[in-house]
Every structure is written in C-alpha cells, then in structure tokens.
Amino acid sequence: QISHKSFRNVGLIGRPDKSSVVETLCLIHDHLLNLGLNPIFDQETAELVPYDHAQIVSRHLLGEVADLVIVVGGDGSLLHAARALVRYNTPVIGINRGRLGFLTDIKPSEAIFKLDQVLQGHFQLDRRFLLEMEVRTNGEVIYDAIALNDVVLHSGKSVHMID
C-alpha cells in the first residue's frame, strides 16, 4: 500500500540534453525543500543542476532511498528511469519536457500544482503491466530487458516513435 504520507524522500531524474528540463527540476527541487521534504538527484541529473550540496545517489539506488520519483523529460526518459526503479516498486510521476507525452502527461506549467495534489493524497495509482524480454541464440540468453509497454525488434538502425 502506497501512502502520500510516506513521500518524504523524492527522487529527481531529468533528461540530460534539454535546458528546459533544468528549469523544471530546479523549480521542483526548491518547492520540495520549502515543504520540508528531501529531494534526491540521481548522479546524471545532479551534473545538470546548479546545486553544490544536493543529495545524490546512483540511478540504480534511487529506488532504494526514494519514496517517490519525479522524471522530467519525455516518455523515453520515464521508460529509462522505470527500468532502473522497477525492482523497488517506487511510484513515478512524469513531467513532460519531451514531444509525445503519453506517459509523461503532466505539463511543466502544472508541475507544482499536480505535485502538491499527490503530496496531499489526491492521486490514483496506475499500476503498469511489465514485460520481460529475452533474446536467445542457440538457447543461450544474449540480451534481456524489462519493458513497460512494448518490445520492438529491429534489424539494426535505431527506431523512434513518430509524432
């Protein structure tokens, strides 16, 4: 059972190649501090923000210390973060700074309002079905992964979702 009262340590993850992400991360970080909560950056995100004394952990340990994680970026950022957090069953909120926003459906202009709603217990948990995928050659696993929505197999070049 997940309770909003347990959201004391809030993980922050951001897409590394967008300056607008830093603005949103800083806004959320400062708001969390003002509420007396403990914002925690993953290492990659900490390199983006202008804080010298922020709490930082590796992304793979973030789920161990965070009660809630906020991802600022696009759907790809959320999916990437979810893979690192899956074994901890940590709830994730997505703030859209990407293009599509199917999973990261909160607009940056609504981030603080929506975050406050969650922290006050006004949220509905959306549990997602996960897929485990293995690629085998001659019976030997050569690659495995966990996916949130779907698995795409392709022959070489990277593929992207279309707007």
Choose among 115, 116, 110: nearest CA to 97: 110
* Bridge partners, 12 (sequence order): 41, 70
Answer yes or no: are the C-beta atoms of 68 and 131 closer than 8 Å.
Answer: no
Question: Residue for token digits 């959306």?
Answer: 126
Is 42 designated active site? no
d(Cα 153, Cα 163) in Å, to the nearest integer? 20
- Residue 29 contacts residue 54 (beta carbons within 8 Å): yes
Could you give the count of Cα atoms lying within 13 Å of 134 in the half-sphere of its Cβ? 7
Kindly name the residue from 30, 67, 75, 144 that is annotated as catalytic.
Answer: 75
Distance CA 77, CA 133 (A): 19
- Please identify every residue annotated as catalytic: 75
